[in-house]
Amino acid sequence: MKLIILDRDGVINQDSDDYIKSADEFIPLPGSLEAIARLKQAGYTIAIATNQSGIARGFYDEATLAAMHDKLAHLLDEQGGEIDYIAYCPHGPDDDCTCRKPLPGLLTEIGKHFGVELTNVPIIGDSLRDIQAARTVGAFPILVKTGKGEHTLAHMDQISDIPVYKDLAAAVDTLLSKPD
């Protein structure tokens, strides 16, 4: 199985410091849907691991989150793409959970769901916590400059050894150009 794990906000869709609180606010980044479709067509199993503390903060509920993901599924279907699994953390930063990135809970959930080890699985994110979570499970972290990615580059001492791409489409271009 060729598995890839993507962060959501800032990688697939626009991010906001005010949170993405509705399906209307869920706006894909240019080229992201096409990139996911190309991954799917190349035989990848695609999962999303996303912190969604807006639920704990009362900005939206799980039904609204499901509506966002339904919108994503519909938009991807139009492109010939699909997400195979979505793992999300509904907790806030002070809730003492094990799933909120940079902790590995979401990633281990995905590994268990597919019955695979995550060693060297590409994980594409825009934040330091995505990179830290990927390293915790032995995966292959990739940073994109979209979303919080440019800000994350300020932590180059912690990420100097990982690939950095303009956006999801550029990262996918490179992944798909490598022989299996």
Q: How far apart are CA 22 and CA 64, in angstroms?
A: 6
If residue 170 lies in a helix (H) or strand (E), which one and from where to where? helix 168-177
3-state secondary structure at position 21: coil
> Which residue out of 7, 15, 126, 167 is catalytically annotated?
7
The structure tokens listed for 130 are: 């995505």
DSSP code per residue over 83-119:
--EEEEE---TTS--S-STTSSHHHHHHHHHHT---T
Residue 7 annotated to the active site = yes
Residue 17 annotated to the active site = no
Q: How far apart are CA 155 and CA 62, in angstroms?
A: 33
Residues noted as catalytic: 7, 9
